Amino acid sequence: MFVGHYAAAFALKGKEKKASLGMLFIAAQFVDILFFPFVVIGIERLKFVPGFTAVNNFNLEYYPFTHGLLGSLFWAGLFYVGYRFVLVKNKPQKASIALVMALGVLSHWFTDLIVHTPDLPLVSGAPKFGFGLWKSKALTFAAEAILLVLSLWYYLRQTQAKSALGRYAAIAFIGFLLLINYLNMFVLPANDEINALTISALFFYFLFALIAHFVERSRA
Ligand SMILES: [Zn+2]
CA of 5 to the centre of ligand 1 (A): 9
What digits encode the pLDDT tens for the residues 185-211?
Answer: 999 988 899 999 999 999 999 999 999
**Structural domain of residue 95, as residue ranges?**
3-217
Burial class (CB within 10 angstroms; exposed 0-12, middle 13-18, buried 19+) of 179: exposed
Cα(219) to centroid of ligand 1, in Å? 29
* pLDDT digit string, tens, across residues 84-138: 999 999 999 999 999 999 999 999 999 999 999 999 999 999 999 999 999 999 9
Distance 154 CA to ligand 1 centre (A): 24
Average of per-residue pLDDT values in the chain: 96
CA of 32 to the centre of ligand 1 (A): 5
Q: How far is the CA of 58 from the centre of ligand 1 (A)?
A: 11
Number of domains in the chain: 1
CA of 116 from ligand 1 middle (Å) equals 9
Ligand 1 centroid from CA 196, angstroms: 17
- pTM of the complete model: 0.95
Query: Are the C-beta atoms of 133 and 118 separated by less than 8 Å?
Result: no
3-class SS of residue 130? coil
- Is pLDDT of 79 > 90? yes
- Check pLDDT > 90 for residue 165: no
CA distance 7 to 150: 8
Distance from residue 174's CA to the centre of ligand 1 (Å):
20
Q: How far is the CA of 4 from the centre of ligand 1 (A)?
A: 11
Burial letters for 83-105: b for 16+ Cβ neighbours within 10 Å, e otherwise?
Answer: bbeebbeeeeebebbbbbbbbbb
Q: What is the pLDDT of residue 57?
A: 94
pLDDT tens-digit series, residues 173-190: 999 999 999 999 999 988
| Cα 8 to averaged position of ligand 1 atoms, centre (Å) | 13
Q: Measured in angstroms, how far is the CA atom of residue 107 from the centroid of ligand 1?
A: 10
β-sheet bridge partners, residue 48: 58
Centre of ligand 1 from the C-alpha of residue 69, in Å:
11
CA of residue 114 to ligand 1 center, whole Å:
11
